[in-house]
Structure 1
Amino acid sequence: MTRVLISILSLFVILFSNINGLNVTEYLSYIEDLSRDPHFVAEYTKWALELSSDPEYMYGASQPFPCSTKGMQSTEIPTSVHALRPGDIQCVGAIGDSITAGMGAHALTPIGVLLENRGVSWSAGGDHTYEKMITLPNILRLYNPNLKGFSTKTSISFLNGQNAKHNGLNVAKSGARSYHMVEQADLLLDRLRNQEICDWNNDWKLITFFIGGNDLCDFCTDIQKHDPANFVGWIRDTLDRLYNANLPRTLINLALVLDVRPAKELKDGNFICGLLHKMVCPCAAYPTDEQEKILNEWIPQYQQGVVDLINSGRYDGRDDFTVVVQPFMAKTVPPRKADKIDFSYFAPDCFHFSGKGHSVASLSLWNNMFESVATKKYSWHQGEGFECPTQDHPFIYTSKNSV
Structure 2
Amino acid sequence: MFLKVFLVLSVLIRGGWTNYKACQCRERPKYKEEHRTVYNLRPQDIGFVGAIGDSFTSGYASRSNNPLNYMTDYLGTSFSTGLEQDMSLIRLVQMCNPSVRGGSSGDNGLLGGDGVRGLNVGVTGAVSSEVGEQANNFATQVRQMPGWQNQWKLVTIYVGANDIFAECDPINGYQYGMNIRRALDMLSGLPKTYVVLVGLPDLTQYYQLAQDNFLCGLLIGFVSSRCSFTPQQQKDLVAQFNAQLQLISEEYRYMRKDFTVEYTPAVANAYQTVERDQFAFDCFHLVPQFYEQISTNIWNSLFQPRQSRTLGNYNGNVQPTCPSSYNQFLRTKKNS
Of 121, 130, 150 in structure 2, the residue corresponding to residue 202 of structure 1 is 150
Aligned alpha-carbon RMSD (Å)? 2.2
Match of 1:150 among 103, 106, 131: 103
Residues 136-285 of structure 1 mapped to structure 2, 5 A cutoff: 136-156=89-109, 158=110, 166-194=116-144, 196=145, 199-219=147-167, 221-223=168-170, 226-243=171-188, 246-278=189-221, 281-282=223-224
Correspondence 1:62 to 2:15 = yes
CA distance in 2, matches of 1:93, 1:311: 22
- Describe the SS at the equivalent of 2:261: strand
Q: CA deviation at 1:388?
A: 2.5
Q: How far apart are the structure 2 equivalents of 1:169 and 1:97?
A: 14
Amino acid at match of 1:150: G
Indicate if the aligned counterparts of 2:266 and 2:298 stay in contact, CA closer than 8 A: yes
Taking the TM superposition and a 5 Å limit, the aligned residue runs for 1:1-400 are 62-67=15-20, 68-72=22-26, 75=29, 76-77=32-33, 79-127=36-84, 133-156=86-109, 158=110, 166-194=116-144, 196=145, 199-219=147-167, 221-223=168-170, 226-243=171-188, 246-278=189-221, 281-282=223-224, 288=228, 291-316=230-255, 318-335=256-273, 341-382=274-315, 383-400=317-334
The Cα of 1:64 is off from its aligned counterpart by 3.7
How far did 1:277 drift?
2.7
Q: Describe the superposition over 1:81-131 as per-residue Cα deviations: whole angstroms up to 9, x where unpaired.
A: 111111111111100110110111111112322111111211111126xxx
Task: Judge conservation of contact 2:24–2:325 (CA < 8 Å) in 1.
Answer: no
Segments ≥4 residues shifted beyond 6 Å: none
Query: Is 1:213–1:258's contact at 8 Å kept on the other side of the alignment?
Result: no
**Which is higher, the Rg of structure 1 or of structure 2?**
1
Secondary structure of 1:401's aligned partner: coil
The superposition leaves residues 306-357 of structure 1 with CA deviations (integer Å, 9 ceiling, x where unpaired) of 11121122300x210101111111243243xxxxx42212112111110111
- Given that 2:203 and 2:235 are in contact with CA atoms closer than 8 Å, whether structure 1 keeps it comes out as no
382-391 or 143-152: which moved more? 382-391
Q: 1:214: Cα distance to partner?
A: 1.0
1:140 and 1:160 mapped to 2: Cα distance? 29
Q: 1:160 to 1:398 in 2, by over 3 A?
A: farther
Q: What SS does the corresponding residue of 2:254 show, helix, strand or coil?
A: coil
Q: Write the letter of the residue equivalent to 2:123.
A: K
Query: Which runs of 5 or more residues in structure 2 are unaligned?
Result: 1-13
Contact 2:202 2:238 in 1 (8 A): yes
Flag the 1:81–1:73 CA change in 2: closer, same or farther, 3 A. Answer: farther
**Cα distance in structure 2, aligned partners of 1:80 and 1:65:** 30
Q: What is the TM-score of this pair, normalised by structure 2?
A: 0.87
Aligned residues: 318
Cα deviation for residue 295 of structure 1 reads 1.9
Structure-2 separation of matches of 1:125 and 1:248 = 24
What SS is found at the alignment partner of 1:209?
strand
One-letter amino acid of the structure 1 residue matched with residue 258 of structure 2: D
TM-score for both structures, normalised by structure 1: 0.73
Deviation at 1:72, TM superposition (A): 4.0
Comparing 80-89 with 198-207, which one deviates more in the overlay? 198-207
> In structure 1, how many angstroms separate the alpha carbons of the residues matched to 2:115 and 2:292?
24
